[in-house]
């Protein structure tokens, strides 16, 4: 394990965490009173999926690559649709929410958000396919730690501005989710 290996994993982590950062920011905006437990739960969800997806990609290369290759072209579309649905839901709930009740972080919401923002990390599994499983695991864990740190920062920044923006924060958060989905789709189409 060299400094180059660790640096590469950190760079992968930063690049992959940007979608999760945006969603963390959106959630912080829509829920400025989010407690430490939910902050950690959100960041850990994204870190878990950013750790898992490269390992799934690595596994696919070593076992079922032909099957996965046929599905890969649909991944950006799936991520876009999921994030657009979540964004629209956040906007609608913010408009309909007359009280200061925060939008709830349910298991279903966390699961869908985690998968949608980390699905592009599957491709990292292809780039680390030459590594043995131990090194692929270490790289994936580094990616997960970097994601956790970046997502915690996103939630905290979102919370800070969410208290200032009040009702429009949920709408802004929903718009961010939709834009992240569009960015994923457009970057894969180009």
Contact in structure between 57 and 122 (CB atoms under 8 Å): yes
Structural domain including 10 reads 3-32+41-189
pLDDT at residue number 100: 52
Q: For position 69, what pLDDT does the model report? A: 63
What is residue 93's predicted lDDT score, i.e. its pLDDT?
67
| pTM greater than 0.85 | no
- On whether the CB atoms of residues 54 and 121 are closer than 8 A, the answer is yes
Number of domains in the chain: 1
Examine the pLDDT at 181 and tell me if it is beyond 70.
Answer: yes
Most confident by average pLDDT, 34-38, 58-62, 79-83, 102-106: 34-38
Angle, in degrees to the nearest 10, between helices 36-62 and 3-30: 130
Q: What is the pLDDT of residue 101?
A: 57
Rounded Cα gap, residues 30 and 37, in angstroms: 16
Report the pLDDT value the prediction gives residue 180, as an integer from 0 to 100: 73
**Binning pLDDT at 50, 70 and 90, where does residue 166 land?**
low
- 5-27 pLDDT, tens digit per residue, is 898 888 888 888 888 888 888 88
């Amino acid at each position: 394990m060299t400094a180059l290996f660790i640096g590469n994993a950190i760079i992968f982590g930063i690049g992959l965490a940007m979608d999760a950062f945006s969603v963390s920011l959106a959630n912080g905006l829509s829920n400025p009173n989010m407690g430490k437990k939910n902050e950690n739960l959100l960041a850990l969800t994204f870190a878990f999926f950013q750790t898992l997806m490269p390992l799934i990609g690595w596994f696919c290369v070593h076992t079922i690559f032909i099957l996965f290759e046929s599905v890969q072209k649909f991944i950006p579309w799936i991520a876009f649709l999921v994030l657009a649905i979540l964004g629209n839901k956040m906007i609608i709930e913010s408009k309909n929410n007359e009280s200061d009740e925060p939008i709830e972080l349910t298991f279903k919401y966390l699961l869908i958000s985690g998968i949608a923002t980390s699905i592009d990390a599957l491709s990292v599994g292809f780039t680390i396919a030459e590594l043995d499983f131990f090194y692929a695991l270490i790289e994936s864990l580094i990616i997960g730690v970097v994601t956790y740190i970046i997502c915690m920062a996103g939630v905290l920044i979102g919370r800070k501005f969410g208290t200032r923006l009040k009702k429009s924060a949920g709408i802004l958060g929903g718009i961010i989710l939709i834009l992240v989905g569009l960015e994923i789709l457009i970057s894969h189409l180009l």
